[in-house]
Amino acid sequence: MSGTKRRSAGPQADDLRFMKIALRLSRRGLGLTEPNPMVGAVAVKDGRLLATGFHRCFGAPHAECMALEDLAVAGATLYLTLEPCGHFGKTPPCVDLIIARKIRRVVAAMADPNPLVNGSGFARLQAAGIETRVGLCREQAERSNRHYLTFMRTGLPYVAIHAGLSLDGKMTDKAGRSRWITSPELRRCAHGLRGEFSAILAGRNTILADDPHLTLREPGWGGKQLLRVVLDSGNSLPHDLNIFKDQERSPLVIFSSLDAGERKKRTARHFFVPADDQGLSLPAVLGRLAEMGIASLLVEGGGRVIDSFVRQGLFDELVLFHSGRLVGGRDAVQPFCSGIEDLAQAPQLADCHWSHFASGSIMRGYRRCSPD
């Protein structure tokens, strides 16, 4: 893209306009770049947009490389959604390319918490005499890259809990059936949601009751591999279930208890972790997934598994799909059945966003945006 010129509305307004373009570009890598970040880059001179780039997928060139590869004009301003790298990784340092292309000014949304970068990118730009502005649209950039930031800062995957609920908050009817609480329209959205994550998790009861594939079937995610994670404490799931199929496209990881009577591995990646009467140790599960480079996890159920994640405070986001049905009944499963004794201890969500559909609504709320 090049040659777009609009009258300048002054340097500050121009900065905002071009940073928003960089942020929009960065999101084209949604679900495809992990465990690396989504990054957008826009080069501009005299109000004219000269070049753009974004990180397409894991292993592809960095956004800065894509934008600056063919840039022939000196003295441009470069808008970046993340601090540029100054280290040799899969690609040479982007800072070197920025200096070589004679960029005059860099406007970045945020610093990169990667210990290999962490301020050193900005320091090298400044040492080369390049003016830098940091922090423009920081909140939006942090929200966009929340998986990457959580993974970098905590060493554990970002965890989102997904539940399909009746209007009165039930995941199942009185008999424990969850098919189908929500409409086909909302279920399609729920399937699409999987693509945003690196892995999807379900417990043994859900696998037995619903025999799901847990695969990524919605169009638009190319050949993306989604890791499927199953918690099966006793290591006793029958082998003819759908979850054991299609492992090339969607590899299967199983976690069982160290105390399981049966210790035979059912897949190449079958791990045995500590457990107590509440179930498998979720910190051990998350730690093992992090070691495998999984930066984000979507927990899909069922009620007991979701309850464990909520009770232990091991989640960053809730995505609730609400149908227009009333189900009722004390025995119907709900997402946080152990509950809290005292309202003051209730997990609190911030920034809840609702999207409304003819057949229901979707709520996304965050426990924390950028953990320290």
Can residue 303 be called a binding residue for ligand AOF (CB under 6 A)? no
Q: What span, in angstroms and rounded, lies between the C-alpha atoms of 199 and 330?
A: 32
Rounded Cα gap, residues 123 and 132, in angstroms = 9
Nearer to ligand AOF, 117 or 202 (CB): 117
- 4-5 and 40-45 strand pairing: unpaired
Cα torsion angle, 116, 122, 123, 128, sign: positive
- Between residue 157 and residue 216, which ones bind ligand AOF under the rule CB under 6 A? none
- Is 85 a binding residue for Zn ion by CB under 5 A? The answer is yes
Residue with tokens 């009185």: 174
From the list ligand AOF, Zn ion, none, pick the one residue 367 interacts with, judged by a Cβ distance below 5 to 8 Å according to partner type: none
Please, which contacts does 59-63 make with residues 24 or more away whose CB atoms are closer than 8 Å? 59/90, 61/91, 62/91, 62/94, 63/25, 63/26, 63/39
For residue 371, the 8-state DSSP code is -
- Residues in 50-109 at the binding interface with ligand AOF, rule: CB under 6 A: 55, 62-64, 82, 85, 89-91, 94
Residue 94 contacts Zn ion per CB under 5 A: yes
Closest to ligand AOF by CB, 182 vs 198, is 198
Task: Provide the 3-class DSSP secondary structure of residue 260.
Answer: coil
124 binds, among Zn ion, ligand AOF, none (CB under 5 to 8 A by kind): none
Q: Is 80 in the site for Zn ion (CB under 5 A)?
A: no
Reduced to 3 states, what is the DSSP secondary structure of residue 357? strand
Which residues are tagged catalytic?
A: 64
273's contact among Zn ion, ligand AOF, none, with CB below 5 to 8 A by partner kind, is none
- Joined together, the tokens standing for residue 347 give 């997990």
Q: Give least dist CB 296 to ligand AOF, A.
A: 14
Q: How far is the CB of 37 from ligand AOF (least distance, A)?
A: 6
| Footprint of ligand AOF on 14-53 (CB under 6 A) | 33, 36-37, 39
Question: Given the complex with ligand AOF, which of 112 and 232 has the nearer CB atom?
Answer: 112
Is 360 in contact with 322 (CB distance < 8 Å)?
yes
- State the minimum distance, in angstroms, from the CB of residue 28 to Zn ion: 17
Residue ranges of E strands in the chain: 4-5, 40-45, 48-54, 77-80, 105-108, 131-134, 158-165, 199-203, 227-231, 252-257, 269-273, 275-276, 279-280, 296-301, 317-323, 350-357, 360-366
Say which entry of ligand AOF, Zn ion, none residue 114 contacts (CB below 5 to 8 A, set by partner kind): ligand AOF
Q: Which helix (H) or strand (E) holds 224?
A: none
How many residues bind ligand AOF, per CB under 6 A?
17
Q: Which is nearer to Zn ion, 37 or 303 (CB)?
A: 37
Site residues, Zn ion (CB under 5 A): 62, 85, 94
Site residues, ligand AOF (CB under 6 A): 33, 36-37, 39, 55, 62-64, 82, 85, 89-91, 94, 112, 114, 117
